[in-house]
Amino acid sequence: MPEFEDHEIQGASDDFNIFVISDGTGKTAFSVVQAALLQFELPRVNVLRFTHVRSEEEIYNIMDMVRVGKDIVVYTVVNEDLARVLRAEAANRSVIALDVLGPVVEALKRVSLRKPRGIPGILQREENVAERLEAIEYAMEKSTGFSVSNLDQADVILLTVWYPHRDECILRLAEKGIKCGYVMLDPNLPLPINFEEVVGGNARALVVGIDMDPQYLSELRLERIRALGLYCLVEKASLERVEEELAFAREIYRRLRCPVIDITRLSVHDVVGKIFEQIKKKREEQA
């Protein structure tokens, strides 16, 4: 039976806290709480999330903040010793507490020959691996730079002229689970059909324009062309050609009103960091 049925609610109200406690990320318990809250109109309820709880002292400190007969505790604690302490504290303090994973784990123990591993955060780690693999597959196979057909799947869309370290940046983002598509901008090539409608109308993805100093880009291109022995492309490194392409790209950024990152003399690591700053800013604006 759920633990909260053993306690009497002293005074029902629409103003209380839900304490989500976990020795992992707390994602499972938090998702359950959010799903339950959708069934009610409770604008004054606060969900307080305590993650990676690994000691009895932390549990005592959190439980000291819970108001008896008013607040609720929802938890996923797979370490049996910590779970036992939390259950005892909830019972001793007459606090409403719901163990999200416990009943399911106990049922599995009864029908299985194996013991639970008791390792917090396993689900989150497996989800992160899957996200990274999916993002890498997207970067390698589905974003061509000359089409918008798969950009609806992207988390980030880079708009950029050709510069040598673009693919490395995209793969670095993919390794962090970010699906990054891109569109190559060149005044001598037609833009993809429906480019502005697809890119400008994509509310889900972060659209970022890449800019840099013309002389710097000219040097980068010349260095790469020489390294590959592709001297037939040396005209792409001329300062005149680079300035023309950058002017074309900047006009597109202006029309789309997208954020622009100047990557002049930045390492790949720093470029990725700048993109993550924009991702964080977009998420904060949408929150």
pLDDT digits (tens, 9 = 90+) for 86-111: 999 999 999 999 988 877 766 666 76
DSSP state of 218: H
Domain with CATH 3.40.50 in the chain: 3-111, 127-286
Collapsing DSSP to helix, strand or coil, 37 comes out as helix
Alpha carbon distance 3, 97 (integer Å): 6
Distance of CA 199 to the CA centre of its chain: 20
Distance of CA 42 to the CA centre of its chain: 27
Instruction: Count CB neighbours of 170 within 10 A.
Output: 26
Specify whether the backbone of 104 is left (phi greater than 0), alpha (psi in -120 to 50) or beta.
Answer: alpha
Question: Of all helices (H) and strands (E), which one includes residue 191?
Answer: none
Task: Note the pLDDT of residue 227.
Answer: 84
Biggest distance spanned by C-alpha atoms of the chain: 82
Collapsing DSSP to helix, strand or coil, 48 comes out as strand
Beta bridge partners of 207: 157
Collapsing DSSP to helix, strand or coil, 153 comes out as helix
DSSP state of 206: E
Question: How would you class 117 by CB atoms within 10 Å of its CB: exposed for 0-12, middle for 13-18, buried for 19 or more?
Answer: exposed
Average pLDDT over residues 120-131: 52
DSSP state of 115: P
Confidence of residue 205 (pLDDT cuts 50, 70, 90): confident
CATH number of 127-286: 3.40.50
Task: Note the pLDDT of residue 146.
Answer: 60
Instruction: Count CB neighbours of 131 within 10 A.
Output: 16
pTM for the whole thing? 0.53
pLDDT (tens digit, 9 = 90+) per residue, 173-187?
888 888 888 888 999
pLDDT (tens digit, 9 = 90+) per residue, 232-287?
888 999 999 999 999 999 999 999 999 999 999 999 899 999 999 998 888 888 76
CATH number of 3-111: 3.40.50
Collapsing DSSP to helix, strand or coil, 30 comes out as helix
Q: Which long-range contacts (CB under 8 A, 24 or more apart) does 232-240 make?
A: 236/162, 239/214, 239/215
Residues 6+ apart with CB under 8 A from 228: none
pLDDT (tens digit, 9 = 90+) per residue, 47-100?
898 988 889 999 999 999 999 988 999 998 888 889 899 999 999 999 999 988
pLDDT (tens digit, 9 = 90+) per residue, 3-20?
333 444 455 567 789 999
